[in-house]
Structure 1
Amino acid sequence: MTDFHAALRQRSPSAERNREPILAVLREVLPATGRVLEIASGTGQHAVCFARALPGLDWQPSDLDADARASIAAWVAHEGLANVRAPLALDVHQADWGVDKHDKPDTHDKPDTHDKLDKLDKLDKLDKLDKLDAVVCINMIHISPWSATQALFAGASRRLADGGVLYLYGPYKRGGAHISPSNDAFDQQLRSRDPAWGVRDMEAVVALGASVGLVCDEPIAMPANNFSLVFRKRQDVARV
């Protein structure tokens, strides 16, 4: 049978390279069961890789970009995964994170594809009152303004259950300095595209987390001069 999803499925070489190292960390820091919200899911390759490897988790992908959401849904339908929800059009700057704004991708009037993607609607909303066990955000904070990082931490603090995890992956400066010439060059490239973008200082990110009750574990060095940062929500954080 013709694979109607193939045209919708995007591929990211970086996602293909880093998914296994990231998965190794997620296996250690995420609970065996629970609800996970992924922010800025991109192509969806991470979502299907992690959900397949961690079947006890209810995985909620999201992305602001409509083409990315179509790719995510196509990957999920292609893999036949039952523990991944339909992608949300989520903006971290929104106070409620737009958790009830489910967006079904364009299927170009292909009935077979439409039927398969419809099956994703079984879990198409994240109840605003429900708490999350984890929030995962990969390679976002350096390609967005600092306000997005602030909103990410504020939202995670609101939505995570006590002891819940916020996982971040990407490049960072340490002590205000780049850890490699390649990261320095990457930072300059990002800032040339948008002055509000750029590789963030790890200490500033950790301090931001602490200000909203998200305490960082020891940073984990990853391949290609990246880091995993694992934040945990303190139980004494005031409800907002």
Structure 2
Amino acid sequence: MKPFSQACENNKQPILEVLKNYFAKASRVLEIGSGSGQHAVFFAKNLPGLFWQTSDQVQFHPGINLWIADAALDNIGKPIALDVRQKEQWPAGKQDNKHNLGTKFDGVFSANTAHIMGWDAVVEMFRGVGCLLLDNGLFILYGPFNRNGEFTSPSNQKFHGSLLCQDSQMGIRDDRAIVALANRNQLSLIDDVAMPANNRMLVFSKCFYAPSVKSAL
């Protein structure tokens, strides 16, 4: 049976509206943390001009593959093993004649990952994305984020507490820390889109010069 996430079902359309704008000219997008596979299939179907490469830790691959098999789309790649903390698992440098994994991507997308990763993994994710993206490529990160050190809603504060109870390394990240981390990896914040359920879409562009944190927020 295919895995199913109600959260993915709820947020897929609002996310797509943002992706349609920013990935309009993209040709190859890597999704970090494809999870159930629902997002990947929905976005690939609705963005037929690009190739959507799925990825996640190996234990999630069977479910992702079920969604891909049912969709029967030509513009979606079966999941590659990617633990962001393992440098050798990042696609750059890998040889795959069908999907050109050794070629850099002009888009990277990740949803609801930064708050369930440990901070060390978030650091490695941005390092990997900074290396993987082509110049002027875009990294779009979706999820809950604090604004200037403050929770944006009581529900986010409660959610943060529940994450800490599961694992002390989890938690909603502060946007200032995220932007500072991005800047260190040649990624500049170009948009911050308010989303339903107190989530946000942070859009970063790969550039040689990244502005200071103060000017980016």
In 2, Cα distance between equivalents of 1:46 and 1:168: 14
**TM-score normalised by L of structure 2:** 0.91
Match of 1:56 in 2: 49
Q: Return the letter of the residue paired with 2:4.
A: R
**Contact 1:172–1:202 (8 Å) recurs in 2:** yes
In 2, Cα distance between equivalents of 1:39 and 1:225: 21
TM-superposed deviation, 1:78: 0.3
**Contact 2:163–2:171 (8 Å) recurs in 1:** yes
| Higher mean C-alpha displacement, 185-194 vs 207-216 | 207-216
Match of 1:19 in 2: 12
Q: Which of 184, 195, 198 is equivalent to 2:168?
A: 195
TM-superposed deviation, 1:56: 1.1
- Give the direction of change, closer, same or farther, for the CA distance of 1:220–1:38 in structure 2 (3 Å limit): same
Question: Mind listing any 5+ residue stretches in structure 1 that lack a counterpart?
Answer: 1-6, 103-120
Identity %: 42
**Contact 1:85–1:122 (8 Å) recurs in 2:** no
**Contact 1:180–1:225 (8 Å) recurs in 2:** yes
Cα deviations by residue, 1:181-228 (Å, 9 ceiling, x for unpaired)? 000000000001000000000111011101111000131100000000
Q: What SS class does the counterpart of residue 106 from structure 2 fall into? A: strand
TM-superposed deviation, 1:93: 1.2
**Contact 1:99–1:125 (8 Å) recurs in 2:** no
Q: Which runs of 4+ in 1 moved over 6 A?
A: none
Higher-Rg member (1/2): 1
TM-superposed deviation, 1:124: 5.9
Cα deviations by residue, 1:7-62 (Å, 9 ceiling, x for unpaired)? 2x100000000000000000011143411110000000000000000011111101
In 2, Cα distance between equivalents of 1:55 and 1:32: 11
**Contact 1:36–1:133 (8 Å) recurs in 2:** yes
1:160 equivalenced with 2:133 (yes/no): yes
Q: What SS class does the counterpart of residue 191 from structure 2 fall into? A: coil
Match of 1:126 in 2: 101
**TM-score normalised by L of structure 1:** 0.82
Q: Return the letter of the residue paired with 1:10.
A: P
- Give the direction of change, closer, same or farther, for the CA distance of 1:97–1:131 in structure 2 (3 Å limit): same
1:82 equivalenced with 2:82 (yes/no): no
1:93 equivalenced with 2:90 (yes/no): no
In 2, Cα distance between equivalents of 1:97 and 1:64: 10
**Contact 1:86–1:123 (8 Å) recurs in 2:** no
Root-mean-square deviation over aligned CA pairs: 2.0
**Contact 1:157–1:214 (8 Å) recurs in 2:** yes
